Amino acid sequence: MDAEASGTLPLDSEHNIVASRQLVRTLCQQLKFSLVDQTKMITAASELSRNTLVHGGGGQMRWEILDRNGKRGLQLHFEDEGPGIADLKLALTDGWTSGGGMGLGLPGSRRLVNDFVIHSERGQGTRVSITRWK
């Protein structure tokens, strides 16, 4: 079954994290990404979905299938209205964690995709956009 070219998925429960992985898998297959590229995008989406829920208090994932200059890609946007990230530079450092995790979420996600943009403001939430091109 083909997914829509764009849409929104709420990220307000553990169930939604699973749903985000399934949706990203479907979108990657639709774009005929290699198995390695599918795995990278699904892993990044899983990490960022979890961050949106756990650290941002919930939010949403928006997706878009891109077609630019003959190249196709998948862009995902993770948005929350949580407390924001106090020190973005520190949060993007390998091994740093604000909780009990391994500290791989943001820097690991950044390495798994072609484009990574993050904007976070204290008290205003966090927005992360990732793109993987075919």
At residue 96, the pLDDT reads: 67
Q: Average pLDDT of 66-82?
A: 96
Q: What is the CATH number of domain 6-133?
A: 3.30.565.10
13-50 pLDDT, tens digit each: 999 999 999 999 999 999 999 999 999 999 999 999 99
> Which residues have CB under 8 Å from 3's CB, separation 6+?
23, 26, 27, 30
Mean pLDDT value of segment 58-84: 96
Contact 73, 66 (CB under 8 A): yes
pLDDT at 39: 96
